[in-house]
A = this chain, B = another copy of it.
Amino acid sequence: MALTPKFDADGLVTCVVTDAASGDVLMVAHMNAEALAKTIAIGEAWYFSRSRRALWKKGETSGHTQRVVEMRIDCDQDAVWIKVEQVSGACHTGRRSCFYRAVPLGQNGGAMTLEFRDARVFDPKAAYPSKKD
């Protein structure tokens, strides 16, 4: 019953983030030991960016922070699940969730298509002025 996270070769665990109200998966991110410790201590989501090799607090640029309602850890302690109260939207594209597209089932080989499910809830150009997306 001790927290003994099994960090991967890059020193990270996977973090699944769900909306505490709707249950929807908002995003998948990664935490190093420092991000995990800060999230537990403070109750707001901190991550480690694999592309920027840097610790970041969710919402530090956009203001779209995540207050953690509950944290769970899985059987082999290499993944955590946090239920959060999400300000505005989690996705840099302006959607509430990064998972705004469905992959229709039954497609069998060849080029496969996606279908939009969720509209934007904020303007990504205003929230992330330095991003080109």
Contacts and interface: CB of A to CB of B under 8 A. Distances in A.
Given A23-B24, A72-B117, 4 more contacts: A16-B16, A40-B106, A75-B91, A80-B103
A13 to B, nearest CB: 10
Contacts of A73: 99, 101-103, 114
A107 interface: yes
Interface residues of A, number: 49
A92 B101 CA distance: 30
A72 B25 contact: yes
Contact of A41 (B107, B111, B117): B107
A53 to B, nearest CB: 16
